[in-house]
């Protein structure tokens, strides 16, 4: 938001400096638009802080309010410019049925219950915008206009309201494409090319949001240049009062932004086509397509297949069935409950954990334990949808779900909201003695267990043995200092040593927690006070910047998330990466990897001064019962069954939570590298345990990304983040 305000201030300054120029009004208009956008975003964030559950329950978000604010501006501003000498009237948005229809159609695309009609609504809006521009263009062909001899262009008649509506249209298309990108199947061409009509939107659909929005921004710039060539409305007013038109002028300059926009559009189509071909390479339906050096994979397929292969499963479910199982963002995996049965509803994470068919088999087994009188209905959701659904579940009683999966960092927030059922007395002593204390602590808050650990995700160091040997090293680094030395040697040989997930996302926070742990520290103390001015965090920030300045990381690291980092590693493009468990299996699967037999995994090295043999970060998922469940006892029984040693012993595709199973001969036979994962697990630091984690993570993401981009020094980034986090802690504490 600060960036938008700064941009608005620059436009305002440009207006003040050039106010004697006839075109200066363009800068004032842009300054007002920036101010409006900032107000809308601030309003959205304020609502989110006032009552996040209400917003989550009704699907509102910053994008929705931004589109709504733009549409309101569009309705209240002119869609056509008055030309008094031709008796051409000024038409406001609220005066035009076409403008109102466009506004209504765009509103439909952002209302949750009506989003099923998003496709026809966005088509109607697009056709309406085109029709309005076409209708105004047609007016220039009228004899009365042609007789004037003035070189009119269509942009001379288009008002600010139309441009604002076009911006709202583009943001709406981006939102629809972003929503559609949550489908974890490889995208089909017919699901991408309609979006590509808007430059960059097809790439957003393909889960390249940064790249796609860069094309959108370039297009917006060309439109701005085009609009700057329009005759200023004040000129029509002035000369109209004299009974004439402005003096004729050359208009050929308008062709430059038109040509620029066309080049941008064609280039975005080419970029979309290239990324779509990579997507098809990961889809079994396009198995005849030759292997490419980098592919866009289904995250669910990678997680499931990678974990299964990584933990030694030789049989199981094919990729095709995995794709079918996750073809939609959320849904039920079981049949309709029989009449009279008590129904337990579970909402689980759709990207990791047990496969849907396994879950349903376990649900059927659980039902037999209760003489078929208890039925478990299972639904799945994506990460953000899962979080919002749990928030919304607190608004009703009974809750729509009884058991939910949750990220370990959500526990304090949901516990403070009193949405979770305490499991403190539900975990017997013999169970506690067979689970690592750090696993139970990850889902505990204020001396109470709120969830049972279920999926154990930890970061490990993945490396290319062949590239490491080529640089003269026989094995992975033992310390952080050794790692840096190896990366420097790799760079001298012309290799790219390293990449990671340093895009402005949750993955960046996870990586920073891990790097601080490599230096022996945490980001927050036990009371939630930030420690970013302490040596471990300072050294971690400096190390990240040093890797970039020394060109030891890929050039695109600032836009790279976990799947991007994995793809770079699997293609042989980098020697090292740190990532979650699923990479282990994927790197030895020729369907995904070009380094089969060359990749290996190791503990993430800590600085020698720490005396530790490893340092990692955890990304655990747990199962919790909602406090307003209609069947709390059965909810607890179901989650205990799902995490029981008896069930987990059968699921060798997953890292079990039970120490006895982790040390079992069966698991070690299935995965000879289990010791590496357990070493990283034993040395994994959790992300901060805060009641306001989501807000704190946002602050960290922003300042860490400034560090990665080089717009802030490590010292400045840490100081600014520290100040904001302290203020945030004070606000939530009060």
3-class SS letters over 392-426: HHCCCCCCCCCEEEEEHHHHHHHHHCCCECCCCCC
Angle at 35 between CA 230 and CA 72, to 5 degrees: 75
Give the closest residue to 644 by CA, choosing from 383, 413, 306, 369.
369
Average pLDDT over residues 575-603: 92
Average pLDDT over residues 53-81: 71
650 and 585 Cβ atoms separated by less than 8 Å: no
Split at pLDDT 50, 70, 90, the class of 259 is very high
Determine the Cα–Cα distance for residues 152 and 139; give it in Å rounded to an integer: 10
The region, left, alpha or beta by phi > 0 then psi within -120 to 50, assigned to residue 711 is: alpha
- pLDDT tens, residue by residue, 331-361: 444 567 777 889 999 999 876 777 788 888 9
Determine the Cα–Cα distance for residues 678 and 684; give it in Å rounded to an integer: 10
**At CB < 8 A and 24+ separation, what contacts does 645-654 make?**
645/434, 647/362, 651/354, 651/358, 652/311, 652/312, 652/313, 653/304, 653/307, 653/308, 653/311, 653/313, 653/316, 654/307, 654/311, 654/353, 654/354, 654/455, 654/456
Determine the Cα–Cα distance for residues 548 and 709; give it in Å rounded to an integer: 9
Instruction: Report the pLDDT value the prediction gives residue 321, as an integer from 0 to 100.
Output: 30
Both tokens of residue 715?
């010292």
Split at pLDDT 50, 70, 90, the class of 23 is low
- pLDDT tens, residue by residue, 660-715: 999 898 888 888 889 999 999 999 999 999 999 999 999 999 999 999 999 999 99
- For 559, phi then psi, to 5°, come to -115, 15
Both tokens of residue 224?
């701005």
Determine the Cα–Cα distance for residues 245 and 152; give it in Å rounded to an integer: 10
Is the confidence at residue 368, as pLDDT, over 50? yes
The alpha-helical segments, DSSP class H, found in 626-692 are: 632-642, 645-650, 659-662, 665-670, 674-682
- Residue 539 CB contacts under 8 Å (≥ 6 apart), including other chains: 519, 607
Split at pLDDT 50, 70, 90, the class of 22 is low
Q: Any idea which of 10-24, 50-64, 357-371, 475-489 has the lowest mean pLDDT?
A: 50-64
Instruction: Report the pLDDT value the prediction gives residue 482, as an integer from 0 to 100.
Output: 98
Split at pLDDT 50, 70, 90, the class of 113 is low
The alpha-helical segments, DSSP class H, found in 311-370 are: 319-325, 356-368
User: At 531, is the secondary structure helix, strand, or coil?
Assistant: coil
- Residue 125 CB contacts under 8 Å (≥ 6 apart), including other chains: 102, 105, 106, 109, 169, 172
71 and 168 Cβ atoms separated by less than 8 Å: yes
Split at pLDDT 50, 70, 90, the class of 9 is confident
């Amino acid at each position: 938001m600060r960036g938008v305000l700064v941009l608005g201030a620059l436009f305002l300054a440009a207006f003040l400096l050039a106010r004697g120029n006839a075109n200066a009004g363009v800068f004032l208009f842009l300054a007002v638009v920036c101010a409006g956008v900032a107000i809308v975003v601030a309003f959205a964030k304020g609502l989110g802080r006032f009552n996040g559950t209400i917003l989550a329950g009704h699907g509102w978000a910053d994008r929705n309010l931004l589109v709504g604010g733009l549409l309101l501006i569009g309705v209240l501003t002119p869609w056509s410019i008055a030309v008094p000498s031709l008796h051409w009237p000024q038409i406001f948005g609220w005066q035009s049925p076409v403008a109102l229809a466009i506004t209504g159609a765009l509103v439909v695309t952002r209302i949750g219950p009506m989003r099923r009609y998003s496709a026809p609504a966005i088509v109607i809006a697009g056709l309406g915008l085109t029709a309005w521009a076409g209708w105004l263009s047609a007016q220039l062909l009228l004899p009365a206009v042609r007789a004037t001899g003035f070189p009119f262009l269509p942009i001379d008649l288009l008002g600010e309201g139309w441009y604002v509506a076009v911006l709202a249209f583009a943001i709406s298309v981006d939102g629809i494409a972003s929503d559609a990108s949550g489908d974890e199947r490889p995208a089909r061409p017919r699901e991408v090319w309609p979006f590509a009509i808007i430059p960059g939107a097809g790439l957003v659909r393909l889960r390249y949001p940064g790249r796609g929005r860069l094309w959108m921004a370039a297009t917006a710039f060309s439109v701005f240049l085009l609009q700057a060539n329009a005759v200023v409305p004040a000129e029509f007013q002035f000369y109209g009062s004299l009974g004439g038109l402005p003096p004729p002028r050359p208009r050929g300059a308008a062709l430059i932004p038109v040509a620029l926009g066309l080049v941008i559009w064609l280039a975005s189509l080419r970029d979309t086509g290239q990324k779509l071909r990579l997507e098809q390479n990961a889809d079994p339906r396009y198995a005849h397509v030759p292997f490419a050096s980098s592919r866009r994979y289904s995250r669910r397929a990678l997680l499931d297949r990678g974990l299964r292969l990584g933990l030694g499963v030789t049989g199981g479910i094919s990729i095709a069935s995995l794709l079918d199982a996750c073809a939609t963002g959320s849904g039920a995996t079981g049949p309709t409950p029989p009449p009279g049965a008590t129904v337990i509803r579970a909402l689980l994470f759709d990207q990791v954990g047990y496969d849907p068919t396994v879950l349903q088999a376990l649900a059927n087994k659980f039902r037999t334990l209760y003489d078929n009188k208890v039925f478990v209905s299972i639904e799945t959701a994506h990460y953000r949808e899962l979080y919002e659904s749990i928030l919304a579940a607190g608004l009703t009683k009974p809750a729509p779900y009884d058991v939910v999966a949750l990220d370990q960092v959500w526990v304090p927030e949901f516990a403070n909201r009193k949405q979770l059922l305490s499991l403190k007395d539900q975990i017997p002593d013999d169970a506690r003695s067979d689970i690592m204390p750090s696993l139970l602590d990850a889902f505990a808050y204020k001396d109470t267990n709120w969830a049972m650990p279920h999926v154990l995700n930890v970061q490990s160091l993945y490396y290319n043995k062949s590239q490491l040997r080529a640089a003269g090293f026989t094995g992975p680094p033992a310390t952080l200092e050794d790692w840096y030395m190896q990366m420097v040697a790799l760079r001298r040989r012309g290799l790219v040593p390293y990449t990671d997930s340093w895009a402005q996302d949750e993955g960046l926070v996870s990586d920073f927690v891990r790097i601080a742990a490599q230096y022996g520290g945490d980001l927050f103390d036990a009371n939630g006070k930030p420690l970013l001015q302490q040596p471990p965090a300072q050294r971690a920030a400096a190390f990240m910047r040093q890797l970039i300045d020394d060109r030891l990381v890929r050039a695109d690291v600032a836009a790279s998330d976990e799947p991007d980092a994995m793809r770079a590693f699997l293609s042989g493009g980098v020697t090292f990466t740190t990532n979650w468990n699923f990479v282990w299996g994927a790197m030895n699967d020729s369907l995904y990897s070009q380094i089969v037999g060359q990749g290996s995994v190791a503990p993430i090295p800590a600085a020698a001064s720490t005396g530790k043999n490893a340092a990692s970060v955890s990304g655990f998922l747990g199962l919790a019962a909602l406090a307003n469940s209609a069947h709390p006892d059965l909810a607890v029984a179901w989650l205990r069954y799902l995490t029981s040693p008896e069930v987990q012993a059968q699921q060798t595709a997953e890292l079990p939570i039970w120490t006895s199973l982790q040390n079992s001969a069966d698991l070690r036979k299935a995965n000879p590298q289990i010791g590496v994962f357990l070493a990283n697990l034993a040395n994994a630091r959790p992300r901060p345990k805060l009641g306001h984690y989501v807000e704190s993570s946002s602050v960290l993401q922003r300042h860490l990304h400034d560090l990665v981009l080089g717009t802030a020094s490590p010292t400045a980034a840490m100081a600014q983040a520290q100040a904001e986090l302290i203020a945030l802690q004070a606000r939530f504490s009060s």
